[in-house]
Structure 1
Amino acid sequence: MSEERRDGLLVVRCQLGERQAFHELVRLWHDPLWRYVRGMVGSPHLADDLAQEAWVSVVRGLPRLREPERFAPWLFTIARRTVADHVRQMYRVPQTTEVETDDVAAADDGFGDVLTALEIEVGLSGLPPLEREVLILFHLEDLPLAACAEVVGVPPGTVKSRLHRARRMLRDVLVERGYEA
């Protein structure tokens, strides 16, 4: 059974009031959702909060979801809006606390050209949000190009060009920070 079909059946079961089906959706999709949000905001603690907010929105919107097999793009669209709302609110409210930045040092572990998750994270943090988002959705969350386009609300061709630009920018950021290309 395909992922889309499996998710669609779980959504219909949720819409019929079956709690276990919702628990199964959360079990399947919480980690990808959290990784996406974490990649967009940078902080694991903030990602926890925003992922929770996204799940609350899912619970509220699930009864109105008309295309249950489109659950994944719908979920990431909700997460995207949750992140955008947070960013808007951050710029609205003056910051009174100092923002901490962690300097990440590369450790030579003998793996040669293989990038660690930490190095990728450092590289992603150096990208603009639009490019970072398509890289996360396409490469880290394995969403197809059409689903990425649906989530970000642009044509697939725009996603392709953002992916191309993002890969080039990621390579440049990593080289600039001392990682081999």
Structure 2
Amino acid sequence: MSNELMIIRCRLGEREAFAELVRTWHDPVWTYVRRMLSAAEADDVAQEVWLAVFRGLPRLKEPARFAPWLFTIARRAVSNRLRVEYARPEVPIAADPVVGDAVDVLLDRAEMIVNLSALPVIEREILVLFYLEDLSLEDCAQICAIPVGTVKSRLSRARRMLHDRLVRKGSVE
């Protein structure tokens, strides 16, 4: 079922349509939130996102633009959480431990998440939206409320920062 059809059904009050919308989009939203925040906060923030989506669906003007609208809400929720976090006194936070199999793929993924989390929020966010959430430059621009040219420059800077970090760690040459 298309997003547009699900949204129309949601507006008509069909609970199953909203449940289907959540099933379809929960993982991408949670993944985005998790890449921007700690694991402990991701569930709470993702829940806040879905509450805001539920409340805001009647005001969504273009159902075809659901994905950028959804990630704009997620970005706002992440920003609110980060604002609260930055207001607290700084306490060193240990990286989430890698648990489970010692499979190379999992280790590579964990290392990449650690490297991403070391980047400043603005650069990390644009990498996550563009590369990991597979959103277009235009969608990234809409979500971040910036021009497409700024998205391109942030992507370039973020790639360079990530590359420099990986070179310093000896992961790439």
What is the rounded CA distance, in whole Å, between the counterparts of 1:99 and 1:168 in structure 2?
A: 26
Using the size of structure 1 for normalisation, the TM-score is: 0.84
- How far the C-alpha of 1:110 sits from its partner, in A, is 7.0
Mapping for residues 137-156 of structure 1, pairs under 5 Å: 137-156=129-148
What's the counterpart of residue 6 of structure 2?
A: 10
What is the distance in 2 between the residues matched to 1:91 and 1:127?
15
Displacement after TM superposition at 1:178 (Å): 2.9
Q: Are 1:125 and 2:125 matched, yes or no? A: no
Amino acid at match of 1:173: R
Q: Which runs of 5+ in 1 are unaligned?
A: none
The residue identity in structure 2 corresponding to 1:39 is R
| Residue pair 1:104, 1:122 contacting (<8 A) in 2 also | no
Aligned counterpart for 2:171 among listed residues 168, 172, 179:
179
Residue type matched to 2:167 in 1? V
Deviation at 1:102, TM superposition (A): 2.5
Q: Tell me what 1:59 maps to.
A: 54
Is the Cα–Cα contact under 8 Å of residues 8 and 69 in structure 1 kept in the other structure? Answer: yes
CA 1:19–1:164: 2 relative to 1, 3 Å: same
Counterpart contact for 2:123–2:157, Cα < 8 Å: yes
Give the superposed CA RMSD. 2.3
Residue 75 of structure 1 corresponds to: 70
Amino acid of the structure 2 residue aligned with 1:69: A
Tell which deviates more after alignment, 56-65 or 86-95.
86-95
SS at match of 1:25: helix
Q: How does 1:156-175 map to 2 (within 5 A)?
A: 156-175=148-167
CA 1:102–1:19: 2 relative to 1, 3 Å: same
Q: Is the 8 A contact 2:68 2:140 kept in 1?
A: yes
The answer to whether 1:87 aligns with 2:79 is no
Distance in 2, matches of 1:32 and 1:47, equals 12
Whether the 8 Å CA contact 2:95–2:114 is kept in 1: the answer is no
**What is the identity, as a one-letter code, of the residue corresponding to 1:87?**
L
Give the corresponding residue for 1:21.
17
Q: 1:34 — aligned with what?
A: 30
Given residue 149 of structure 1, which amino acid in structure 2 is its aligned partner? A
Name the CA distance, whole Å, in 2 between partners of 1:70 and 1:110. 38
2:95 aligned partner: 102
CA distance in 1, matches of 2:119, 2:88: 24
